[in-house]
Chain A
Amino acid sequence: MKALQITNLKKTYKSGLQALKGISLEVNEGDFFALLGPNGAGKSTTIGIVTSLVNKTDGKVNIFGLDIDSHSVQAKSLIGVAPQEINFSQFENPLEILLNQAGYYGINRKTAYGRAEKYLGNMGLWEKRNEPSRTLSGGLKRRLMIARALIHEPKLLILDEPTAGVDVELRRSMWDFLIEINKQGTTIVLTTHYLEEAEKLCKNIAIIDKGNIIENTSIKSILSKLDIETFFFDLRHAQSTPPVINGYDYHMLDGSTLQVDISKQQGINNLFSQLSEQGIEVLSMRNKSNRLEELFINLLKENKTDSQV
């Protein structure tokens, strides 16, 4: 079953801006799916159409097989959305916001209260349930929107840059929570600018640029396209002069950190041999965490070249 099926979706704004030029996309049930793209690529427009906040110009959107036009009510009840911009009443407290949202989905007060306790608790907001929402920090506001999106326990959760502006600790705990609810069966579609986030969380990915899907595949498959990976080596002793390493592109970041680009054909053994011969001891090594970022930039560059041709 496809949790989300988008077919030839087009959107032209009144200003004449063609935000979506006929994109098609499928997200399987249970998937953790990343929708990536630069600013203005069409990500939020896509999400806006799927969640009925933006009128489409043409195309079809199905949620678990239900057309959002002909089965609007049923389709909407399956989706939960946490948008990019803060969109709750600043005068209400988190508990009121969740109880009201539950009410809009026809959930009675008693059930809603139990769920509010659960999801505000999961997001570390239960203690702040009676505080005016405008007094919450940026990170907590984003968490509140995720709790609100979950109050009706949707089968498809759409998160539009949920961790933008969130500190590292909060971000990581949000990741753990999202992985957990995905394991429990919730399909998640995520847009993000943190490519490390997509790499860590998502199974499949689509890259959108200038209103077109330019890549739609699994994270594994896209990373396999990466010919060259960048590694960092932490050296036991600081080097006064850079080591001589034949056949690799490298440079010293500082006296004891060596950065080396290694292609799949080259492997890593030869590098270690050369370092050992020069008496250089490696304490630890790590690869650049945002490998996806390089691919992303390359794909956008290719798309730019193609559109110029």
Chain B
Amino acid sequence: MNTSQYFTAFRTIVIKEVSRFARIWIQTILPPAVSMTLYFVIFGSLIGPRIGQMDGFNYIQYIAPGIIMMSIINSSYANVVSSFFGAKFQRHIEEMLVAPIPNIIILSGYITGGIARGMMVGLVVTLVALFFTELHIEHPLIVVTVVLLTSTLFSLAGFINGIFARKFDDIAIIPSFVLTPLIYLGGVFYSINLLPEFWQTVSRLNPIFYMVNAFRYGMLGVSDINIQSAFTIILIFTVALFSLCLYLLNKGVGIKT
């Protein structure tokens, strides 16, 4: 196969992935829009005014970037884990495995699908946020880069979950017991400067903390951490997970006997 044929294969996977989540938009796009609206209503409009300002911004403005980032993380992860595990479960992953597609293209196709859903949901949640508060983007390039890197990273994490999952329970465990706590403790709703020294140190071990803060810096221009450190850490995680995914695919873990 030549480069053009590889691109056709990649495009086919991406179109299939995007069509899949677009076809079931009531399950994939609508729920985050509804739940994030509730976050804005409860934490922004009802509780927010009592909290006052945080880092010089209204509370609702302060939490908006974190809430958008939370929806991107959840959606990109959920897209890849459910799609890849579904393909394993129904065995139509075999359609790709028998075809002359290098594993890097299979992986890239799934990840691009995850990025697409993450960005689509992120856009919808941003539009929802505009009903509650003004949003102005301080550093557009940083915003776009962080969104791309974060959705890539969590698409990769979802892919790994999909590889190891043997039953539907396995694709719910990680989001419920690992992802959600990390997101909530990642500084979505507060600045870590409010925490005691010890918990500030613990928070710095959470990779999501860097993503939320980098995104908040792009939107508002404020961050709990140095933006370069945030990018370095996100990049390290992304490269590490990409390499791990490719290794697992090449070994046939979870997909070949």
Contacts and interface: CB of A to CB of B under 8 A. Distances in A.
Nearest to A75: B100
Interface string A40-81: 000000001001111100000000000000001110110101
A100 B94 contact: no
B163 to A, nearest CB: 15
A161 to B, nearest CB: 15
Nearest to A109: B8
Contact of B102 (A73, A91, A148): A73
B10 to A, nearest CB: 9
A262 interface: no
Interface range, B side: 20 to 34
B167 interface: no
A151 to B, nearest CB: 10
A105 B99 contact: yes
A74 B95 contact: no
A52 B99 CA distance: 9
Given A53-B256, A100-B16, A73 B95 contact: no
Contacts of B4: 106
Nearest to A90: B90
B95 A87 contact: yes
A276 interface: no
Interface of B is mostly: helix
B257 A73 contact: no
Nearest to A108: B8
Interface range, A side: 20 to 34
Interface string A78-122: 010101011111110000010111011111100000000000000
A76 B98 contact: yes
25 contacts: A52-B98, A53-B97, A54-B257, A73-B1, A77-B100, A79-B98, A83-B94, A87-B90, A87-B91, A88-B92, A90-B90, A91-B20, A103-B12, A104-B95, A104-B96, A104-B99, A104-B100, A105-B1, A105-B99, A105-B100, A106-B5, A106-B8, A107-B5, A107-B8, A148-B95
Given A54-B256, A86-B91, A103-B11, 7 more contacts: A72-B100, A87-B92, A87-B95, A88-B95, A89-B87, A89-B90, A100-B12
Interface of A: 13-14, 48, 51-55, 72-74, 76-77, 79, 81, 83, 85-91, 97, 99-101, 103-108, 148
